[in-house]
Amino acid sequence: MTAQLINGKEISQQRLAAVAAAVEKRAAAGLHTPCLAVILVGDNPASAVYVRNKKLACQKSGIESLSYELPASTTQDELLKLVDELNSNPKVDGILVQLPLPEHIDSQVVLETILPHKDVDGFHPYNVGRLVVKMPLMRPCTPKGVMTLLESYGVDPKGKKAVVVGASNIVGRPQALELLLSRATVTVCHSATQNLAEEVAQADILVVGVGIPNFVKGEWIKPGAIVIDVGINRLADGSLCGDVEFDVAKERAGMITPVPGGVGPMTIATLLENTLHAAELHD
């Protein structure tokens, strides 16, 4: 059995088209154009690629994009001052500070400075807290994108055993909350988990986001499982791979996301959906 590929690129294009249609409808109704401000600090090559892709997605969907590219020497106070200015700017609906930040800047302090209703990444403790109590305002982009993929392929997590490998604030923890809200039975695995292979083997739905190439072995996958690989890693030869041993896993899984072309495009599409939602909150 070869797994069905979950085409995140295709689904993301559908979602971006829906955003574009909504932006056009807003314009016809005389409402303001949604505006996203993106801040990039330093010259991290991967971050620069992500920011460029976000700008292109904004152009395609009709969302206005403001770009702030700051040198790595930018101080924390200087960055916080810019965030405060964008918080006060009525034109700006969403603010995104591209991670990672230089080591001398405390990313948590910066993220908490963004107003929750402009926090289109969904990283502010207020937004994470609302997700916990089933009252989401801004949902973290990657976990929400994963849920969109599952829904698009007719996967209902209700009653299923879901295993999340990785417990980061950006992916693992909010992903576990999203699955819990969908009434899955959720296990979160992390660096102190024992018998990881046994935990993975129980998963009807497996989500992996650890940033280690081929970390989850294909032979661990439960036959017929849905495998969502959030990782994207560049190898020495320049090729990309995920956190799951894809070639083996696809012969056991029922569905699986490729890398690239799986979760990555959904993260950007969800960011623009969140920006549109932020604009609606500001109306």
User: Measured between alpha carbons, how far is 266 from 145 in angstroms, rounded to an integer?
Assistant: 5
Catalytic residue from among 54, 144, 160, 250: 54
- The verdict on whether residue 166 carries a ligand-binding annotation is yes
- Is it true that the peptide bond before 174 is cis, omega within 30 degrees of 0? no
Q: Are 53 and 264 in contact (CB under 8 A)?
A: no
User: Measured between alpha carbons, how far is 280 from 64 in angstroms, rounded to an integer?
Assistant: 15
User: Measured between alpha carbons, how far is 137 from 144 in angstroms, rounded to an integer?
Assistant: 12
The verdict on whether 217 is a catalytic residue reads no
Inter-CA distances, 122 with 130, 187, 238, 274, Å = 10, 22, 31, 9
**What's the number of CA atoms in the CB half-sphere (13 Å) around residue 13?**
4
The verdict on whether 81 is a catalytic residue reads no
Inter-CA distances, 12 with 18, 57, 104, 165, 266, Å = 10, 10, 35, 24, 5
Inter-CA distances, 98 with 55, 101, 167, 244, Å = 13, 7, 20, 25
Assigned token pair, 24: 């056009």
Catalytic residue from among 98, 118, 144, 229: 98
Assigned token pair, 1: 């059995």
DSSP secondary structure code for residue 22 in this structure: H
Q: In the block, which residue shows the tokens 């990672």? A: 100
The verdict on whether 4 is a catalytic residue reads no
- The verdict on whether residue 167 carries a ligand-binding annotation is yes
Catalytic residue from among 93, 118, 119, 121: 121
Annotated binding site for NADP(+): 166-168, 232
Annotated binding site: 166-168, 232
Catalytic annotation, residues: 54, 98, 121
